[in-house]
Structure 1
Amino acid sequence: MNKCCETSLIGRDLSRFDPMAIDQLDATARLEGMGKVVGLPDLHAGNGIAVGAAFWSPDRIWPHLVGSDIGCGMALWETSLPVRKFRVSQVDRRLQGLDDPWGGAMEAALSAAGLPANLASPSLGTIGGGNHFVEFQRIEDVLDTDRFAALNVKADRVWMMVHSGSRGLGQAILNEQLARTGKSGLMASEPEAKAYLLEHDQAVAWAVLNRRIIAQRFMDAIGVSGSGILDIVHNSVTPYDSGWLHRKGAAPADCGLVVIPGSRGDFSYLVEPVPDFAHKSLVSLAHGAGRKWSRNDAHARLSRRYKAADLQRTKLASHVICEDRRLIFEEAPEAYKDIAGIIADLEAAGLIRAIARLRPLLSYKTRRHD
């Protein structure tokens, strides 16, 4: 690692980190003006930039470290549906047309979110591809009974997690920025950086709105109501410690409760950051299990062993809706690390208190055929 930049890895066994991800993290640490870099337990190699990491600079902003899906994150909802009334086959039948454009009052929704009308898009209210999803869940275990009780939520309700971002908006912002300035860092005091931050903040707000609309569409489809528990952003740049904190696939440890999902065939965890130790990780946490295999590797390995239909049911007996035959292999549970190990790493570092563990019931990716 670059000795000019403070770097650290959060994990009990550092030998388990992917060497390619470490190389990418090291390359980022060598950027001129970089002050501190942290690799989180879910660290894995990305498209030139390690995912599952946080980067801090006293005076510079790098749009490419945030990436193309600005504002991507997780929302967690408690629905009004009792678990005892959840029927996978019934829910499956009702989840129709949700890849199609949202038919709601788009300009009014944008205005209510403080966004201009020119950000209207057919993508608003849709999940998108890649690792994005909506998942219905139930509480498997309450791990901290006092803290769970204080949240005033119900353990016998179906919960819903929404993972999506700013769709094509973030990609367009990054592409335009790279065309103007490349991957050079922007001095935060310069007009170019301020212009990027304005667009960035709009993309974050758009992504939050997108998750809210997605959640409402899914609840409407199955005839239930719900209340939002949290919404957190994984890809962003924000002011921190008199400088600028970039998160690339990292959950915030300074915004309240956090949900950390496993793969679609594994548990997810509702956790609370421990403020006393947040500085160790640049007030950031793992955002999920983290990939073990690349998308191409996952497809190559698993398509020889399974049929697509085999992956529609997981080891936890949950159901998967994914009619994209390539995506169902790329996003298979085997392609991801063990979420229990990730949580244990965060607990060992003193970064979180686990509140509850959630079991998947049904994961929705897409009904669009390839």
Structure 2
Amino acid sequence: MPMTTYLDCNATTPMEPAVCDAVLKYMTTEFGNAGSRTHEFGGRAKQAVQNARDKIAEMVAASREEVIFTSGATESNNLAILGLKTYGEQNAKKHIVSTQIEHKAVLEPLAILKKSGFDVTLVPPTKGGWVEPDAIKDAVRDDTLLVSVMHVNNETGIIQPLAEIAERLATHPAYFHVDAAQGFGKDIPTLRHPRIDLISASSHKIYGPKGVGTLIVRRRAYQKVPLTALMYGGGQERGLRPGTLPVHLIVGFGVATELALKQAEKRANICRVFRDQVLEGLAPLKPVIHGDPARCLPHVINFSVDGLDSEAAMLALKGLVAISNGSACTSSSYTPSHVLKAMGEIQGSLRMSWCHRTEQVNWAEIVKCLNRILS
């Protein structure tokens, strides 16, 4: 019986073999606590964490002191957004600018702040799935505390113009946060812009282990971003994220980041070739691709076919390919995509996302299965 081909890499990616080896080593033989200072087991664990911190910092041109480890981008987003609440209240800066196409891990913390009296402006995207930099600039006010714009949309793969937005914010004191869960390690130069103050990322999106991520907290003119911790008890990670560090996961994240940096061009080229095969294979269905192809990362497409129900399509394709119709984080109770709605697109789309390790697909069989539903 043929194996199902995994085409849901935007949800999570397979771990690289070298990452698996590193994680296993620090789960078994090198199991020390990085906080233990009295013996060599703790010393080696601490050094391994620092090495990983350096690799992650290099990816975004930051320093190791600016890398805070978390459980993933969702926690990082919460810390970046809710962590500024006290500072905003104390300084009469209670306005936040974001976009209508953000992940729920950003939109829901923003909703919490709105209930606390903050004013939140959500800028709509263009039909192509990206936000105009001038629209962000025009939404900013004197009392704006934070601007939060995602790096790459998780549903469409569309890259947001972060460098241009950063330039528009050059003379404004608002903090600039980027949810980089989908773009970290893939679109590398963008996140190195020094005007980006806060960057959220997850290990499992770049072929590392689940359960670990980072919040990059850049200093601005030697000044710290005035974040307040959301949890207490231990003081780890510069007082922003207490608790024993998961050394094995952090080491795996570091190895995954190092490989992503070294292999970025090779991986992207493989994904571009695969994308051409996807488009050629699906062509008989006359799919409508959502989002501007010129602004899309090469490993994902979001599309719909006239008359094709996405739920029925996913059921029909079970056993052939594993795909999704939106964000894995909200798939337990399917609701129409807020991203496509904001773009003015029709609902009922499918998302296919792959990687440099994805096997070949029998596209003729895919088209045959979907045509059965359409006929």
**What TM-score range do you get, normalising by the shorter chain?**
under 0.3
Using the size of structure 1 for normalisation, the TM-score is 0.25
Higher strand share: 1
TM-score, normalised on structure 2? 0.25
Higher helix share: 2
Please tell me whether Structure 1 or Structure 2 has the larger radius of gyration of its CA atoms. Answer: 2
